[in-house]
Amino acid sequence: MSTARANSNIAFIKYWGNADDHLRLPANPSLSMNLDGLHTETTVSWDEDAKADELTLNGERAEGRALKRVSEHLDALRARLNIRGYARVVSTNNFPMGAGIASSASAFAALTVAAVHAAGLSLSERELTTLARLGSGSAARSIPTGFVEWHVGRSHEESFAESIAPPDYWDLVDVIAIVSGAHKAVTSQEGHQTANTSELQGVRVTGAEQRLAVCKAALLARDFEQFAEVVERDSNLMHAVMMTSRPPLFYWLPATLAVMDQVRRWRDEGLRVCYTLDAGPNVHCICVRSDAERVSKGLQSMSGVSDVRVSAAGGPTRIVA
Ligand code: DP6
């Protein structure tokens, strides 16, 4: 029996759409920061005599979609690693699921690392990222520490994630404006499959490598101005693809747009803050630590913002028991 704890992550350069849906080979490379303290903790025990996989999620027995997805990932691990038996999986999240704080990233990172460790196997970090990717693309990025790049790759082995800088490299903080805690109507998994129905996806994918290079250079140089410009542009591009897909996906609420607008005004006033959004309405306001309190207080006073979570750059997925 092993327990792993994985942080969620926020992408600065987004993953949207797959070149291979089954292997989750992404259409474009992505770059993210792990989110300290926004984590999933998962315990796995393998049982050769059990008749099926079992999942307990946040204290409740899970069936249906959640169990199916976990079981399919365990099938992939069983097949690739020759593991026998079924698994008992107990998992808890310490943040709201399905609302733009990536719960599948931390969930599948923790599940993969706990399952492999519980089977008595010891794999390289790189291999663990490829296995986590099969469960959820963004989970690959929650395994290495700090700031992480996920390479596209043309095969299972080549599509891995690696750290480009440790958490303390740059004191960036994600101040998350929660505008809705509701479970999103269309999951990322479904969204990836319609990405190509937008005329804009080709343009977004073609430019992704260049945006990632600009973002990585800005991050490594701690150049906030360059960083902010490319992070917001990349998020806007992804949402433009979502909005022009068939059927269209609109994740923004009125409060989402109000926060984005406020962030731009704060930047004009000299605060080092920019926004990025995942497949949900909550706004991730990325700022330098010295501006985080002002941003957090400002967000709390906005109508439509129900909660604010603050998270610094986080470490890797770890075995904790
Ligand atoms: C918008 O990794 O959640 O958050 O592989 O189907 O689980 P699946 O998708 P997922 O997609 C993440 C999409 C995103 C952008 C990102 O995190 O890069």
Give tens-digit pLDDT for 227-238.
Answer: 999 999 999 999
- To the nearest 10 degrees (0 to 180), the angle between helices 254-268 and 289-300 is 140
Residue 257 predicted with pLDDT over 60: yes
Name the residue with the closest Cα to ligand 1, atom 1.
278
Q: Does the global pTM surpass 0.85?
A: yes
Contact 275, 100 (CB under 8 A): no
Helix residue ranges per DSSP H, 168-253: 188-194, 201-221, 224-243
- Confidence band of 41 (pLDDT split at 50, 70, 90): very high
| Mean pLDDT in residue range 11-23 | 97
Q: Which of 10-24, 176-190, 225-239, 248-262 has the lowest mean pLDDT?
A: 176-190
Phi and psi angles of residue 161, each rounded to the nearest 5 degrees, phi first:
-120, 150
Q: Nearest 5°: phi and psi at 148?
A: -135, 135
Distance CA(250)–CA(200), nearest Å, equals 15
Q: Compute, in angstroms, the gap from residue 105 CA to the centroid of ligand 1.
A: 7
| Burial profile 251-288: b = 16 or more Cβ within 10 angstroms, e = fewer | bbbebbebbbebbeebbeeebbbbbbbbbbbbbbbbbb
The string of pLDDT tens digits covering residues 63-113 is 999 999 999 999 999 999 999 999 999 999 998 665 557 689 999 999 999
What is the Cα 30 distance to its own chain's centre?
A: 10
- Which tokens is 113 given? 């690392």
pLDDT at position 169, please? 98
Residue 119: is its pLDDT beyond 80? yes
Residue with CA closest to ligand 1 atom 6: 189
Contact 321, 43 (CB under 8 A): yes
pLDDT at 185: 74
State both tokens at 86: 């079924």
Distance 188 CA to ligand 1 centre (A): 5
User: Contact, 99 vs 182, CB < 8 A?
Assistant: yes
Mean pLDDT of 121-135: 98
Distance CA 136, CA 205 (A): 19
pLDDT given at position 225: 98
- Looking at residue 56, its pLDDT comes to 98
Q: What is the pLDDT of residue 102?
A: 67
pLDDT of residue 100: 56
Share of the chain above pLDDT 90, in %: 93
Element (H, E) at 178: strand 172-178
Buried b (16+ CB within 10 A) or exposed e, 16-55: bbbeeeebbbbbbbbbbbbbbebbbbbbbbbeeeeeebbb
Q: Is 112 exposed, middle or buried (0-12, 13-18, 19+ CB in 10 A)?
A: buried
Task: Provide mean pLDDT across the span 152-161.
Answer: 98
Among 97-106, 290-299, 306-315, name the one with the lowest average pLDDT.
97-106
Answer yes or no: is the C-beta of 89 below 6 A from any ligand 1 atom: no
Q: Which amino acid is at 292?
A: A
14 lines ligand 1 (CB under 6 A): yes
State the pLDDT confidence band at 184, using cuts at 50, 70 and 90. Answer: low
pLDDT at 55 > cutoff 70: yes
CA 277, CA 230: separation in Å to the nearest integer? 13
Q: How far is it, in rounded angstroms, from Cα 196 to Cα 26? A: 12
73 C-alpha vs ligand 1 centroid, how far in Å?
16
As a whole number of angstroms, the distance between CA 266 and CA 143 comes to 33
Percent of the chain clearing pLDDT 70 (strictly above): 97
* pLDDT score recorded for residue 187: 86
CA of 278, closest atom in ligand 1: 1
Mean pLDDT score across all residues of the chain: 96
pLDDT at 181: 67
Arithmetic mean of pLDDT, 195-200: 98
Q: Tell me how long the chain is.
A: 321
pLDDT at 269: 98
Query: Per the structure block, which two tokens stand in for 250?
Result: 């609109």
Residue 217 neighbours by CB distance under 10 Å: 13
Both tokens assigned to 146: 């700090």
State in Å: Cα 247 to ligand 1 middle: 18
Per-residue pLDDT, averaged over 7-21, amounts to 97
